[in-house]
């Protein structure tokens, strides 16, 4: 089926670049972008028209790191450092997801909040529970959120008797979970929580499963100094944190590592050489005082950086807010670096929260890609003193918009919110 979206089209094809097509036309063939035009070619005049008038059509957002079972604890425990925060709040809350009915209620609401805020692609952590993880995948699929979800693995340093698996359970449940993953748009990803919570035996098994089944891996890296010291204590044979993943075959192309705040030059080189993806989570890094990530430096070195809300270390899901926090955090970094490091511009922040993440799943906002877009109505913003350019309206929307401004969401070529 041929469909046409009409409005002001804005997307970021490359870092620092913004492409704006004022009063443009986006032509879809069966949900796949066939062309973007400033004037509609006659051959496409027969398509079904979605006329969004004076509104902005933006590429949708990709959240590359978040914890679904931490959704009920948003805004809690923010005065604790990472390791205490995990023990006091996170593990007991995640343990609650043994109850699949509770999981259903929470995950339905989470999926709805994601999609109505324009997050159409995710790379997400579930809990230890196989059944609740299927529930999560099902609810995402129903809402129109696409991407990867991982059943979390942890067989040590959790909360024994409350929230921890044996090594055997962790492996057999992972295999049972993979058997039952039959979703069109939500796929499994191997997810060791982080090195301190996974024994060598478990890490080896997970690396083997990922290799045999051709699955990607996601985990955490160099978020906090105490965590890094702990990893080196547990792995005296490793000089650096990343090696504790590498030695079990988990440090490879498309491995997503959340945070990487304190990764030094040689750890960063290992990321670039193996095409490991950084999920930078500015809200979380500031909330739990982990540090201010040197994102500009990573980008200059050619590292693949994406963004994550990291709820519930992060306190908010909407990626347009995560993008503006990322920009603010880069300005703090500039001040820390004696004003020597350039901060991230609005087009750069937008690129990281959209295109850089979409690329992970294969596709972006070009001909041949399934459409992932949001339609933003900025009509209720304060009246300006003069007519604004589309560029100015885009910047204002990124900083000011709320859920109610998103009137339509397209995910994998389908209109899943609005019309």
Q: For binding to Zn ion (CB under 5 A), which residues are involved?
A: 258
In the complex, least distance from residue 197 CB atom to Zn ion, rounded to whole angstroms: 12
Nearer to Zn ion by C-beta: 258 or 371? Answer: 258
Residue that the structure tokens 């949708």 belong to: 60
In the complex, least distance from residue 97 CB atom to Zn ion, rounded to whole angstroms: 16
Nearer to Zn ion by C-beta: 315 or 411? Answer: 315
Give the residue among 231, 281, 291, 233 at the shortest CA–CA distance from 256. Answer: 281
In the complex, least distance from residue 15 CB atom to Zn ion, rounded to whole angstroms: 24
Nearer to Zn ion by C-beta: 94 or 243? Answer: 94
In the complex, least distance from residue 229 CB atom to Zn ion, rounded to whole angstroms: 19
Residue 114: which H helix or E strand, with range? helix 100-116
> What is the phi/psi pair of residue 208, to 5°?
-70, -45
In the complex, least distance from residue 74 CB atom to Zn ion, rounded to whole angstroms: 14
Pairing outcome for strands 191-192 and 186-188? unpaired
Give the residue among 143, 103, 145, 146 at the shortest CA–CA distance from 127. Answer: 103
Nearer to Zn ion by C-beta: 36 or 258? Answer: 258
Nearer to Zn ion by C-beta: 256 or 258? Answer: 258
Residue 356: which H helix or E strand, with range? helix 355-358
In the complex, least distance from residue 359 CB atom to Zn ion, rounded to whole angstroms: 21
Query: Other CB atoms closer than 10 Å to residue 92's CB: what's the count?
Result: 13
Strands annotated E in 68-137: 119-125
Give the residue among 277, 275, 294 at the shortest CA–CA distance from 285. Answer: 294
The residue with its CB nearest to Zn ion is: 258
Give the residue among 77, 71, 114 at the shortest CA–CA distance from 94. Answer: 71
Angle made by CA atoms 63, 65, 69, in degrees to the nearest 5: 105
Nearer to Zn ion by C-beta: 280 or 372? Answer: 280
């Amino acid at each position: 089926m041929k469909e046409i979206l009409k409005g002001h089209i804005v997307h970021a094809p490359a870092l620092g670049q913004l492409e704006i097509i004022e009063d443009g036309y986006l032509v879809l063939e069966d949900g796949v972008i066939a062309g973007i035009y400033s004037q509609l070619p006659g051959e496409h005049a027969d398509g079904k028209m979605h006329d969004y008038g004076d509104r902005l059509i933006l590429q949708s957002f990709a959240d590359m790191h978040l914890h679904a079972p931490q959704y009920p604890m948003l805004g809690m425990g923010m005065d604790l450092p990472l390791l205490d925060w995990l023990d006091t709040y996170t593990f007991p809350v995640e343990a609650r997801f043994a109850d699949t009915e509770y999981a259903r209620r929470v995950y339905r609401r989470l999926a709805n909040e994601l999609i109505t805020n324009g997050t159409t692609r995710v790379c997400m952590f579930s809990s230890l529970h196989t059944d609740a993880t299927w529930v999560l995948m099902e609810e995402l699929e129903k809402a129109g959120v696409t991407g990867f979800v991982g059943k979390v693995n942890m067989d040590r340093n959790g909360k024994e008797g409350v929230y921890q698996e044996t090594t055997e359970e962790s492996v057999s449940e992972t295999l049972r979970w993979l058997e039952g993953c039959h979703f069109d748009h939500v796929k499994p990803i191997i997810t060791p929580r982080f090195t301190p919570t996974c024994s060598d035996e478990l890490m080896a098994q997970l690396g083997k499963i990922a290799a045999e089944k051709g699955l990607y891996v996601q985990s955490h890296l160099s978020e906090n100094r105490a965590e890094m010291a702990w990893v080196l204590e547990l792995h005296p044979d490793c000089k650096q944190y990343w090696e504790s993943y590498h030695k079990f075959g988990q440090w490879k192309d498309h491995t997503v590592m959340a945070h990487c705040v304190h990764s030094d030059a040689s750890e960063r080189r290992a990321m670039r050489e193996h095409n490991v993806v950084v999920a930078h989570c500015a809200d979380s890094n500031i909330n739990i005082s982990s540090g201010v990530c040197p994102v500009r430096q990573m980008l200059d070195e050619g590292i693949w950086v994406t963004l994550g809300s990291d709820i519930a270390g992060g306190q908010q899901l909407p990626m347009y807010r995560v993008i503006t926090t990322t920009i603010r955090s880069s300005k703090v970094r500039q001040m820390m670096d004696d004003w020597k490091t350039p901060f991230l511009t609005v087009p750069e922040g937008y690129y990281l929260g959209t295109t850089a993440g979409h690329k992970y799943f294969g596709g972006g906002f070009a001909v041949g890609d399934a459409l992932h877009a949001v339609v933003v109505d900025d009509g209720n913003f304060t009246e300006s003193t003069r007519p604004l350019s589309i560029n100015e309206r885009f910047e204002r929307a990124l900083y000011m918009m709320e859920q109610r401004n998103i009137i339509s969401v397209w995910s994998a070529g389908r209109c899943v919110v609005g019309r």
